Chains A and B, each alone.
Chain A
Amino acid sequence: MEQVSQSAFYRWLRKGRIVSQAFFFLLFVFLFVKTDYTGSDSIEYAVNILFRIDPLLALSTMLAVKTIIILMLPALLIVVLSLVSGRSFCGWLCPMGGLLDGWRRLFGRARKNEATRFPSLPAIMLIFILISAIFGVPLAGYLDPFSILVRGLSQAIYPGLNEVTVSFFTFTYQHLPEALNRIVEPVYSLLRYTILPFEQKFYQFGLVSLFVLGLVVAAEYVQQRFFCRNICPLGALLGWCSRVGMLAMSGGDESCGACRHCARICRMGAIDEQRKIDAETCVLCLDCFEQCPRQIISFAGVLPISRGAGTSLSRRRFLTTASASLVLPTVLGVRTLNVQADPLLIRPPGALAEPEFLNRCVRCGQCMQVCITNGLQPVMLRAGIEGMFSPYLVARTGYCEFNCTLCGQVCPTGALQVLGMAEKHQFKIGHAWFDKNLSALCQGYPLHRL
């Protein structure tokens, strides 16, 4: 009787988890689509909220610039959440997690879960990122799940989707008979005013961003939640919080006999041979709660009851990782780039001085997404390997609109400062000059592009 009611409760709770994942993924998509110029000089809401609640980015950025960044303090919310309810963020809220779980549900194939391939890799990544950050090599943006997700969407998938849709409806508009177009054109209008971007955007290295996101999704076919289990440094950080946090689960025991159903179905590989549930890894998906034949898995309430094997690093590993992360700053310190930075690399208006700018930039691509002229583009290697995907102005694709301050407004970390209109007008992003020996004259003016 007791067991039946428990089962009903967890079945309900597990459904709640799926609804929550779907809801937060849709919320993410909504905010993503809304991250666009609306015709007003200030942007109402943008997906940059996501980057301000990200403890990995907050911690690594604050370590890099050695100050408290107030904009990123909302990340404490997620820290507190993890202290209270473990890695529920990963299982219930994370849009990347939602995407991966949803992808598997829709396109994936059933696959027997095995032990996590590289269980300690996320923690190694995390330590590597944090120590590098202290020594001025910002790497968090390359592995942060939100950066990967938003970059891939905004620089490849979203503009690509627009391009394909417009091509299709151009074809129908031009070649279908009018009677049919009376039906087809309103569909296009609906798409245009709901999910499609206002303008077609173009990005260099969009393919690279797509490739990175594609790898994360493709890894689902290797192992369920492969990225979350084997790479995600944010997950590792939340895992640390969970370890010292309140929530624990009590799993099965010897009396389960040969049954290891819970361990077999666990998407995170959080359940060991003894059926102990590792709170550091468990994302509270509740699959095992619901499916346990004996219905004995439950929340164990407060503190160290079921810590399981854990995935913590040995001291030796920690020290190895820590010393390895010192190599990169050392070698990067003796590059020619440090003698003179690329003078033609024009950063967006409001950008801090180059080293601090890079330390703060989390490569979310928000500034490029809102840039109304499409002038901001991701840089590949011109700012060094720690500068990849940071924004710079490419005048070939667009100019910096004199009366626009959107990039600074959406920057989640303050790498681009919020500029008032008057400040923006004064802000110098670069120095232009006309070489009158080279340029032809057009009615007395230097020749513009014709």
Chain B
Amino acid sequence: MGKDTSRAGSGRTDVVDWRGSSRINKAAVQSMNRRRFLRQVMLYSSGLSLSLPLFRIPESLAFNASVPDVVRVSGEDYAALVKKTVELLGSMSRFVKPGYKVVVKPNIGWDRKPEQAANTHPQVVTTLVELALEAGADEVKVFDYTCNEKRRCYNNSGMTEAIKSIGSKKAKLVHVDQRKFVPVKIAKGRSLKEWDIYKDALTADCYINVPVAKHHGLSRLTLGLKNSMGVIGGRRGALHHDLGQNLADLATVITPQLTIIDATRILTNNGPQGGSIEDVRRLDTLIGSVDPVAVDALATTLFDLRPEDISSTVAAHQMGLGQMDPAKMNIISGSV
């Protein structure tokens, strides 16, 4: 709470683009681009040691609009649903500028069909990819570090077919390349100090997080913050102890510019893997925001839970990464 009021000066009226509301913040984020990263890599490599450089993420990435816009749209036409959601958040051109390299990160972690609600709906993903391409993106990569066998996940989730149907060479569904997990220093981490993170997710000009909302046996729900586990390497299972704090720590370095939670159908039990159609509830809803915590918090209410029931939401809010009180969000509802 205290943190929120201290940042009240930088109100959301100043928000010009996704990069954040304050000038300092904007500069900090811009300093982390591909060129700079590679220069850093080369500088480190020019030394005697050939050990990997630590990837340093600038501090103060906290999202600091105290009253974030959170969009909630319902409708049965998923393409229109995605378009409306993005439009209410200020159109894709707010996030994607011409020439950008974009990463769209859905949940494709499971060898499950779309109707089983364990993965993000492929149509939600393709519509986002198409919007990014329309906004002038040079390349849109879609990937997830899957839990089940990679090829089975990509194919059976319908993602392979869906991305192919876009018919653009700029839209790429790629398998995770183990070489691209780079050790990253988590300066603000309270529980995690360093972890291997997928480089493409860190160096993207725009990183869009598209999780599916579903039940999870260990974290109760898996939403936006939990979806970041699909871009990290190492022994991921070990993070499930003190999961909430670990996810919040990761959220200080994995910073999507836009999060859209897919609640077109949600898995209400036996998550994250699911499998039974009986556990699936159709909601035809998307929730989107630039605030990664607010979007999780609002999505939690779809499951008849309160935001404070989800430890990652609480931990991330405490670290000043976003708003978790729905009363302090500017909730914009829509339908198509």
Q: Which residues does A use to contact B, with CB under 8 Å?
A: 37-40, 166, 169-171, 173-175, 177-178, 198-199, 372-373, 401, 403-404, 443, 445, 448-450
Contacts and interface: CB of A to CB of B under 8 A. Distances in A.
A-B CB proximity, top 7 nearest: A39-B151, A170-B179, A39-B155, A175-B45, A178-B38, A372-B149, A450-B237
Contacts of A178: 38, 42
Given A39-B154, A373-B149, A450 B179 contact: no
Contacts of B178: 166, 170
Interface in B155-181: 155, 160, 178-180
Given A372-B149, A403-B111, A174 B179 contact: yes
Nearest to A444: B217
Nearest to B52: A174
Interface of B: 38, 41-42, 45, 50, 52, 111, 148-152, 154-155, 160, 178-180, 217-218, 237-238, 240-241
Nearest to B240: A450
A450 B241 contact: yes
Contacts of A169: 179
A401 B42 contact: no
Given A39-B160, A173-B179, A177-B42, A449 B237 contact: yes
Contacts of B151: 37-39, 198, 372
Nearest to B44: A175
A178 B52 CA distance: 15
Given A177-B42, A403-B111, A450-B238, A372 B152 contact: yes
A217 to B, nearest CB: 31
A198 B149 CA distance: 11
A324 B237 CA distance: 55
10 contacts: A37-B149, A39-B152, A39-B155, A173-B180, A175-B41, A175-B50, A177-B38, A401-B149, A450-B240, A450-B241
A174 B41 contact: yes
Nearest to B218: A443
A169 B52 CA distance: 14
B152 A166 contact: no
Contacts of B217: 443, 445
A21 B237 CA distance: 50
B146 to A, nearest CB: 12
B200 to A, nearest CB: 12
Contacts of A38: 151
Contacts of A449: 237
A401 B178 CA distance: 22
A372 B178 CA distance: 17
A303 B262 CA distance: 77
A401 B152 contact: yes
A64 B263 CA distance: 58
A305 B77 CA distance: 82
A305 to B, nearest CB: 58
